[in-house]
Amino acid sequence: MRSVIISTSCVLFLILLWAYFYFFSGEILTDFSQELTGPLYSYISEENWEAAEASILSISEEWETNKALFYTLSSHTVVREADVAMARLNEFILNKEVSDAHAEIGEIRELFLSIRQGEAFTVDNIF
């Protein structure tokens, strides 16, 4: 009986840990997506490169802070792709390439969505 209680407690703890991470990381990814598609996208469209550089620097610093969390609990491949896409976006902004920067923002948004879906508690993710 004692082992059943310990096993059940461990399973409940893991489920609660997953739920906390799922909702916490969802907020982070939503914030990133909103920053990318909101002000940064507008700065690039208006060719306001100084504001775009400041914005991508802020987003990149925040991404670097939170990236380890995603590496720990998400697919390394998707997180690495998002990391590379962020670096490409930074270069496109520095080179003042509007269409490439817009395309990269779309790719990053899709990668963040993929990270989020990969954390969901679904049958596909379990098996």
Element at 15 (helix H, strand E): helix 2-35
**Which domains are seen in the chain, by residue range?**
19-126 (1.20.120)
Q: What is the pLDDT of residues 103-126, one digit of tens each?
A: 999 898 888 888 777 665 555 555
Return the residue matching tokens 């991470």: 21
Q: What is the pLDDT, as a whole number, of residue 38?
A: 82
Q: Does the predicted model carry a pTM greater than 0.85?
A: no
- 30-57, pLDDT tens digit by residue? 777 777 778 888 999 999 999 999 998 9
The confidence band for 90, taking pLDDT boundaries of 50, 70 and 90, is very high
